[in-house]
Structure 1
Amino acid sequence: MVFTGVILSALLMLLLSDSAQCRRVDCKTECCSFVEGFPVRLKELRSAYREIQKFYESNDDLEPLLNEKVQHNINSPYGCHVMNEILHFYLDTILPTAVQKDHLHSKAPINSIGNIFQDLKRDILKCRNYFSCQNPFEISSIKNSYEKMKENGVYKAMGELDMLFKYIEQYLASKRVKH
């Protein structure tokens, strides 16, 4: 787990770093309270990480895992799904491996980070409507809409072929080699 320190550091920086400012917001929902209260949890994450940061950073000389593409995806309309996947990865793979390989008696900060990540993952899933998180495209939604239209579905689908042609054209044009 040579690169775990950089990964944790980058993930922590991505997690609401811009909104970690102290401000007073009158929340009416549990999800609003979760978001507004997260700077306190972020402070706990950073505090736990500082206890192990030097060890992991001193053993890291690899390319970053969490790069600008990850940040772009987190900031996309699918951000809560991206966060869920990243947290799942850390909770199921990275943190257990770090605890298993750790020989510096620093299991407590890793466990603390894991507990906060677990809470974060739960709250992000619970609040996905609050975040207006869109699902990645799945053909099943189109098929379900089509089936609900019954025999009129074929008219709708065929009537939108020109739109499909336009989408195909735009997609293929975007893949053309630029001269």
Structure 2
Amino acid sequence: MKGVTNQYKPNRLLQSFLAAWTDTDLIMKCAVVAVFGLVCCLLGGISAHSIGMKHKQKAGVVLSPPLGNALHRQRVNELARAAQQLDKDTETRLLNLPKNHTDMTNLFVCCLHVNIIDFYLRNVLNTEEKYPHLTVVKQDLHRISTDLKEQGCAVTHVRNQQYVQKFKEEYIKLGTNGQRKAIGEVDILFEYLSRFCKEKKTQ
């Protein structure tokens, strides 16, 4: 009987080892499942947060994508800066908001500047002088003008408005320097468009 008992000892050891291995494997599987579940929860939370942010940003967004794009604004600023460095006239300014702009709706002020965009496209940005980003900025302004007209800017209604007329008269008065002055103020134009050409905030 003693021999028989010794004969079964290796089998018991093997069974114990297999049982321990199975338990370890089970623990590892549980750990993997737990980690996977945690990652899913985190990703789910991030997605929900992102969706929430998108909904928050809808209110008061600009009516044309280039107006809310940092790269577009940087190119406009670099173009304006290059023209400003060549402009010796630091007294004159073409673009000044109407004094009574607070009595106007944002859309009306926006449309005033869409009319000025069209003037830029026809008379200002067709210069033969070399400026950084000139072609790209011209494309951006064309896109902005198109978008804002689709949003309701009927530029024919504001074409003869005093503010627009004064801008054109001052531009012509400056002669050959008018084009350079206007390019140097394209950043101001872009700023006004970004400020006034927005959707109304929803509650």
TM over 0.5: no
> Which gives a bigger RCO, structure 1 or 2 (Cα 8 Å, sep 6+)?
2
TM tier, smaller: 0.3 to 0.5
TM-score under structure 1 length normalisation: 0.43
> TM-score of the superposition, structure 2-length normalised?
0.39
Give the number of the structure whose residues are more often helix, by fraction. 2
